[in-house]
Amino acid sequence: MKMTLPRRLLLGAALAMGLAGTAAAEFPERQITLVIPFAAGGSTDVVGRIVADRMSKSLGQQVIVQNVGGAGGSLGGQQVAKADPDGYTILMGTVATHALNPLILKQKPYDPVTDFAPVSLLVLVPNVLAVHPDLPVNTVQELIDLAKKEQLAYASSGNGTPLHLSGELFKSMAGVDITHIPYKGSGPALTDVLGNQVPIIFDNLPSSSGHIASGKLKALGVTTKERAPSFPDVPAIAETLPGYETYSWNALFAPASTPPEAIAALNKAALEAMADPEVAKRMGEFSATIVASSPEDLGKHVTAEMAKWEPVVKAANVSLD
């Protein structure tokens, strides 16, 4: 209690000396770093760069992208959790960083609720099961049949990601054993599948859609309950394995205790970006559904998603390689 009065006096003196002007300065005054917790070329990177570019225009300051891949997104998540809470370092979070990592990874480098200030849920993203065109299967059932005869492997964007969960849920529901090979993001995972070093990938649709459209990857099924609007000919895996469902999402987070003015400015810029018809067109091409939420609704979404995936992670018997 002894400290209370002098501190108040100090603050009063600082305000009287004109420092109040500094505190009230417009956010942002300099460039912002958007940490992408996965390697370049993955879905989070693709979505993140489109959003960062458009937010730069709204904010009048550059939003630069920094890829910090590894540990299923938790390295990048940890970097932002520990960053100065001033709004100048933010995270392109996903279902991996804010729901699955804490459920799957043994090491918990941060708390997705208490270590972050939510900014906006941006998009919901379908995932896809795709194979190299040389793999002699054209349907989910044919893949299941082949996996019962041969030892196959699938690539994912890392332990603790929705792609890892997608693969393990598939294995447990189909009764097959396929070896999991984790990467630092879908970008490097895709490189190896396109080169046929690994025959199967579970990926987010945004990063695979171009390769599926050009025939470099054969899509067997999407992971959402329903088919994806941009690929109506690709069945849902649930058509073969009823009840199968996974998906991903992208959302912006700042470190906990970031000033509300900075959160409000970032949220406004994010909503403006998602309302831009050019951004909407790009998102539509890979069936990412725009949500563009308030910070409060993103907070509720994170809590709901952690509860939703807990039984699925258990049912899928996800283990670390």
Does 38 interact with ligand GLU (rule: CB under 6 A)?
yes
Q: Which stretch binds ligand GLU (CB under 6 A): 39-47, 52-60, 140-148, 208-216?
A: 39-47
Residue 319 in tokens = 């283990």
What is the contact mask toward ligand GLU in residues 91 to 130, using x (rule: CB under 6 A)?
---xxx----------------------------------
Among residues 27, 28, 42, 181, the one that binds ligand GLU under rule CB under 6 A: 42
248 Ramachandran zone, left/alpha/beta (phi>0; psi -120 to 50): beta
Q: Is 305 in the site for ligand GLU (CB under 6 A)?
A: no
Ramachandran region of residue 57, left (φ > 0), alpha (ψ -120 to 50) or beta?
alpha
Residue pair 181/152 in contact by the 8 Å Cβ criterion: no
168 in contact with ligand GLU (CB under 6 A) = no
Q: Residue from 34, 143, 163, 228 that binds ligand GLU (CB under 6 A)? A: 163
Binding-site size, ligand GLU (CB under 6 A):
17
Candidate ranges 35-43, 214-222, 251-259, 272-280; the one touching ligand GLU (CB under 6 A): 35-43
Q: How many CB atoms lie within 10 A of CB 11?
A: 12
User: What is the amino acid identity at position 240?
Assistant: T
The nearest distance, CB 38 to ligand GLU, in angstroms, is 3
- Residue 185 found at the interface with ligand GLU (CB under 6 A): yes
- β-pairing, 89-94 vs 248-255, is antiparallel
Residue 45 touches ligand GLU, criterion: CB under 6 A: yes
What CA–CA distance (Å, rounded) separates 277 from 261?
Answer: 27
Token pair, residue 283, equals 């998102």
Q: Which is nearer to ligand GLU, 101 or 267 (CB)?
A: 101
Closer to ligand GLU at the Cβ: 63 or 144? 63
- Neighbouring-strand partners of residue 222: 128, 236
Work out which of 78, 89, 166, 186 binds ligand GLU, going by CB under 6 A.
186
Give the nearest distance from C-beta 306 to ligand GLU in angstroms. Answer: 14
Residue partners of 216: CB distance under 8 A and separation at least 6: 133, 194
204 is an interface residue for ligand GLU by CB under 6 A: yes
How far is residue 39 CA from its own chain's centroid? 12
Q: What count of other Cβ atoms lies within 10 Å of the Cβ of residue 276?
A: 16
Q: Does 152 bind ligand GLU (CB under 6 A)?
A: no
Q: Among residues 72 and 87, whose Cβ is nearest to ligand GLU?
A: 72
Q: Is 287 in the site for ligand GLU (CB under 6 A)?
A: no
Tokens 């990177």, located at residue: 45
Selection from 300, 39, 305, 316 nearest residue 192 by Cα: 39
Residue closer to ligand GLU (CB basis): 27 or 156? 156
Stretch that binds ligand GLU, among 38-46, 114-122, 141-149, 260-268 (CB under 6 A): 38-46
CB atoms within 10 A of CB 291: 17
**Residues 231-270 within binding reach of ligand GLU (CB under 6 A):** 248
Neighbouring C-beta atoms of residue 73, cutoff 10 Å: 34
- Could you tell me if 245 and 236 are in contact, meaning their C-beta atoms sit under 8 angstroms apart? no
35 near ligand GLU (CB under 6 A): no
Q: Which helix H or strand E contains 290, and what residues bound it?
A: strand 289-290
Task: Catalog residues that contact ligand GLU under the rule CB under 6 A.
Answer: 38, 42-45, 73, 94-96, 157, 161-163, 185-186, 204, 248
